Amino acid sequence: MTFSWLLDKYRGSIQFSDKEVQLLSKDGWDQASQCKAAQYLYQQKLTSLEQIEKQKAHMWHQIHAIGSEFYTQMYQASQKGPVQRLQMLLGQLGAKIDQYHFLQIQGAYHFDAQLAPHAPFLVLLCQDIQQVFKSQTLADYAQGEGELALLAQQIHLLRYWIDRQNINYIRENFPGGNDYQKLLNYQTYYGLALDYQTDATYHNRYQGRFIYPNNFKVQVTAKSKHAEFIIDLVRGDFVTQWDVLKKLDNGLIDSQPDHYGQYELSIIANTESFNFGQVHHKSHWRLDIEHPSDAQLRQRATQQWPYEPDVFDKQQPGQYLDIVKKGGPRDVYAWQEIPLAQRQEVYHNYLANYQNSRSRSLGFAKFAEQQKIAATKAEAAKKKEERDE
């Protein structure tokens, strides 16, 4: 069955030109996905030439916008196997790993500006990745031979470009005085549940002596936890490498590690990282923890900005304890109320409280509430003692 037959079947509506059909095939779209496009064209009951050309231009744009509703339908309709679909996606993006092991993207396709962190396309993408890399870790695949070795490296590095889309989507589509407020407005708009309970240990890297956490992690959604955002505890802004990565005149990212200073490296070290695996499933360990090497730029950043081990680390207990946990926004606001000059002492008390009790932290708001209750009781006892005298 040829695509010409499809156009004949659906004639009387908008049709692709032979050149456009060739371009779709060159971009990796098989007959099944092209059939989906033809069906859509047939359903558009347009009468004027102006309407037809306008709708056709819109559709052509949607096909090239990865994650758009129409792109997702074509991707889902494709009868290619998951390996070929992933290779098609990378080819459409023009994805290539450069000399510094950074994935550069400069293709005819781009991520749809309206691709949300919880979008169906990202779920489909994760499912394909889980299916392809299901017997070994992503790092093991990357160290092997054949087409899956390169694909594993590219897929790992692709996650950071998905982060970029997630960051841009929240910032550009929702109101708020800072990124966190925008994220909360996004949550409210879609009625989503966010997760605050995954440790942010690796996103609070430091130099010198560890004092207290500066960032917290939020994952979208609470059920899938694929997308994650690292947020400054005080300013409420995203901590993301995409704020400091430099763009070259040719449109590529400057991935030369020597071109970045310590402040920029600190942001790159603490940046977010999209997760391909399932929550509480071995696929998360295979795909998101035991992953191939990062770009040389991020490798340098994480080497120069180490993380503090968690206080409950069984092998090497450290001085790290998440400020934000079950309390979510309440934990954030409770910490922001602590004056800067008092934060080190307050964190020390917070840490000691859980070190002594050996119970998992429920978040800073709960601790602060308990401290206020204890202080109130102590004050009442003191006044009673004074009256009794």
1 vs 150, higher pLDDT: 150
Note down the domain range covering 27.
Answer: 10-79
Compute the average pLDDT of residues 251-258.
98
Residue range 224-238, pLDDT digits in tens: 999 999 999 999 999
The answer to whether position 388 is within a domain reads no
- The whole-number pLDDT of residue 377 equals 54
β-strands 110-111, 227-232 pairing: unpaired
Residue range 285-325, pLDDT digits in tens: 999 999 999 999 999 999 999 999 999 888 999 999 999 99
Q: How far is CA 369 from CA 212, 323, 337, 350, 362, in A?
A: 19, 14, 12, 12, 11
Residue 11 has pLDDT above 50, yes or no: no
**Helix then strand then coil, % of the chain, to nearest 5:** 55, 10, 40
Rounded Cα distance between 276 and 330, Å, is 29
Helix (H, G, I), strand (E, B) or coil at 52: helix
The answer to whether position 114 is within a domain reads no
Residue 175 has pLDDT above 80, yes or no: yes
Residues 92-104 as b or e (16 or more Cβ within 10 Å = b): bbebeeeebbbbb
Residues 132 and 71 in one domain: no
Burial of 50 from C-beta contacts in 10 A (0-12 / 13-18 / 19+): exposed
Residues 67 and 126 in one domain: no
Residues 270 and 338 in one domain: yes
Residues 238 and 268 in one domain: yes
- pLDDT-derived band at 34, boundaries 50, 70, 90: confident
Residues 56 and 99 in one domain: no
Structure tokens at 351: 């840490």
Residues 241 and 214 in one domain: yes
Residues 265 and 300 in one domain: yes
The answer to whether position 179 is within a domain reads yes
- The whole-number pLDDT of residue 57 equals 83
DSSP state at residue 203: G
Closest among 321, 299, 300 to 310, alpha carbons compared: 321
The answer to whether position 188 is within a domain reads yes
- The whole-number pLDDT of residue 128 equals 98
- The whole-number pLDDT of residue 5 equals 39
The answer to whether position 386 is within a domain reads no
Residues 38 and 134 in one domain: no
The answer to whether position 362 is within a domain reads no
To which H or E segment does residue 352 belong? helix 343-357
Q: How many domains, in total, are found in the chain?
A: 2
To which H or E segment does residue 95 belong? strand 95-97
- pLDDT-derived band at 3, boundaries 50, 70, 90: very low
Amino acid at 78: S
Residues 334 and 204 in one domain: yes
Residues 142 and 277 in one domain: yes
Residue 384 has pLDDT above 90, yes or no: no
The answer to whether position 379 is within a domain reads no
Residues 75 and 97 in one domain: no
The answer to whether position 371 is within a domain reads no
Residues 173 and 30 in one domain: no
pTM, 2 dp: 0.92
